[in-house]
Structure 1
Amino acid sequence: MIITNTETIPNKTISICHGVVSGSTVRAKHAGRDFMAGLKNLVGGELVGYTELLSESREQAMERMKAQAAELGANGIVNVRFSTSSVSAGASEIYIYGTAVTVE
């Protein structure tokens, strides 16, 4: 599956546009990670636990979007975008969307 954030795929021709596909996941903070993040806020620096959590979330949302595109018979997704939102005090959503296409 070819995935890009551009409108076209270089050296490929879009023959079929299948429509919008998306994937999302909602993740909550782990109490241990939250405690460690609170300590890290005192001294500064990267919150590695949260970085890992967001990376895993993006991968899972991407896999869900790719599965949806594959169900439609697509072999590519163009105009891919990510979005995040806070669902509750301790949870956030990662949402990814794009246009499923067949390219030749």
Structure 2
Amino acid sequence: MLISNIEIVPGKKIAKHLGMVQGNTVRAKHAGRDLMASLKNVFGGELKGYTELLNDAREEATQRMLDQAKAIGANAVINVRFSTSSISAGAAELFVYGTAVVLE
């Protein structure tokens, strides 16, 4: 399935517009990662544990969006956007959404 963050796909025609599809996941921080993050805050550097957590969340939310798109007969999702929000102290939601279409 094609995923794009633009509104059109060059060289393709949108045959059918199926509507918005979405996926999300809520993730909590891990105590072990928090300890390592505290050390990185002192010495500097990438918070690799959190980078990995965010990548996993993005993949899971995207797969949920694609599953929803497939279920309604789409072969592409265009105009895809990501959003995050804090749910509570130590937990955040990653949300992805786009427009499900059928391309010719």
TM-score (norm 2): 0.99
- Other-structure match for 1:7: 7
Counterpart AA for 1:48: K
Counterpart AA for 2:18: H
Gaps of 5+ in 1: none
- Other-structure match for 1:54: 54
- Taking the aligned partners of 2:89 and 2:34, their CA distance within structure 1 comes to 12
- Other-structure match for 2:20: 20
Query: Are 1:72 and 2:61 matched, yes or no?
Result: no
Counterpart AA for 2:103: V
Counterpart AA for 1:34: D
- Other-structure match for 1:102: 102
Q: RMSD over aligned Cα, in angstroms?
A: 0.5
- Other-structure match for 1:86: 86
- Taking the aligned partners of 1:40 and 1:83, their CA distance within structure 2 comes to 25
1:26-37 aligned at under 5 Å gives the runs: 26-37=26-37
Q: Please list the CA deviations of residues 28-80 of structure 1 after superposition, one character each: whole Å capped at 9, or x if unmatched.
A: 01100011101110011100000000000000000000000000000000100
Q: Please list the CA deviations of residues 9-31 of structure 1 after superposition, one character each: whole Å capped at 9, or x if unmatched.
A: 11110000000000000000110
- Other-structure match for 1:38: 38
TM-score (norm 1): 0.99
- Give % identity: 62
- Taking the aligned partners of 1:10 and 1:26, their CA distance within structure 2 comes to 34
- Taking the aligned partners of 2:88 and 2:43, their CA distance within structure 1 comes to 26
Number of aligned residue pairs: give it: 104
